[in-house]
Amino acid sequence: MRRREFIMLLSCAAAIWPLAARAQQPERVRRVGVLVGLAENDPEMKERIAGLRQGLEKLGWVEGSNLRIDYRFAPAGAQARLLARELIALQPDVILTQSTPATAAMQQETRTIPIVFASVADPIGSGFVASLSRPGGNLTGLLQYEEGITGKWLAMLKEIAPNLTRAALVANPRTAAFDYFLQSAKAVAPSLAIDLVPTPVDNAVDIERAIETFAREPNGGLVLPPDTSTVVHRDLIIALAARIACPRFTRPVFSSQRAVSCITGLTSSICLDRGHPMSTASCAVQNPLTFRCRRRRSSKLSSTAKRRRHLA
């Protein structure tokens, strides 16, 4: 073999060998940290985690193969800072947070690891991003609702019960963007002839006391903006609404959760008007554009229905 050919062959081998060596090496496993604001066994949370996994798989990231996901659960923000530190110690490549308390806790723990947030109502007011067009820093994510949606919730209540004159905005200021929704509601309430009642709550005792007090006067309704605190206590809120104001309370079928009338994570509005024919109705907001309502059917059978039942 000529000397020139030998040098060319050696050069080609030297160039190809690193590529072949890298091809034989296992693909690096990426690590994702997830900090959420609901309990691990919460039905809504289970659905969200399943959706996350499915979405990642469609993009080629398979948990247990080229991806590892570390989950931490902080219902209503409980121990969020401690759990955030635990995830940071694992040195994930990226972090996903759900809820305002979870995002705030993670922001306080790292300014370098990329953070993607979800279920955050007011990222600017919460100090997570500088603006929607230019987030800046290491956080980015999705705006849950624009503030004008609060007016639609109030309008929906008024449509359900035209005699409605009062509405309580119920949320925990520590876990929800309470002022964000409150200011928007105040701007719309007068045009709907609704007296808005700000109702900050902190725990189950507060929720029970607040709803019982509010329901002492007629023609009232509840608006529950997105808040992990009211999600955690949604069964309590439904029970209170049913016991205090709506003894024949009907719940719309919504997703797979049993606490369907007070689905938060999105939101819902509950009518507490005792005297109005629609007083046993409840509505859940499925998304900012689609409203689903369901009225209680009359217990009295029509004459046609009676005849049909008799013939059967």
- The model carries a pTM of 0.69
pLDDT in tens, 5-60: 544 444 444 444 444 444 445 678 999 999 999 999 999 899 999 999 999 999 99
Looking at this protein, which amino acid is placed at residue 245? Answer: A
What is the token pair recorded at 74?
Answer: 């902080």
pLDDT of residue 26: 60
Nearest of 231, 228, 168, 229 to residue 194 by alpha carbon? 168
Higher per-residue pLDDT: 307 or 127: 127
Q: Please tell me the distance from the alpha carbon of residue 109 to that of residue 95, in angstroms, as a whole number.
A: 12
What one-character-per-residue DSSP string does 9-61 give? HHHHHHHHHHHHHHHHSPPPPEEEEEEESS-TT-HHHHHHHHHHHHHHHHTT-
Which domains are present in the chain?
Answer: 30-143 (3.40.50.2300), 149-294 (3.40.50.2300)
Nearest of 242, 253, 254 to residue 280 by alpha carbon? 242
pLDDT bin (cut points 50, 70, 90) of residue 2 is low
Query: Buried (b) or exposed (e) across 77-115, using 16+ Cβ within 10 A?
Result: beebeebbbebbeeebeebbbbbbbbbbbbbebbeebeb
Residues 6+ apart with CB under 8 A from 245: 215, 220, 272, 273, 274, 279
Alpha helices in the chain (DSSP H): 3-24, 43-58, 80-89, 100-109, 149-160, 178-188, 204-214, 228-232, 234-240, 303-311
pLDDT in tens, 276-298: 322 222 233 333 323 333 333 33
Q: Most confidently modeled of 86-95, 232-241, 250-259?
A: 86-95
Looking at this protein, which amino acid is placed at residue 122? Answer: D
pLDDT in tens, 256-271: 333 223 222 233 444 4
Judged by average pLDDT, the poorest of 14-28, 54-68, 88-102, 210-224 is 14-28
Beta carbons of 244 and 294 less than 8 angstroms apart: no
Question: Residue 304: pLDDT above 90?
Answer: no
Judged by average pLDDT, the poorest of 13-27, 113-127, 136-150 is 13-27
What percent of the chain has a predicted confidence (pLDDT) above 90?
54
Helices 80-89 and 100-109, packing angle to 10 deg: 50
Q: Please tell me the distance from the alpha carbon of residue 264 to that of residue 226, in angstroms, as a whole number.
A: 5
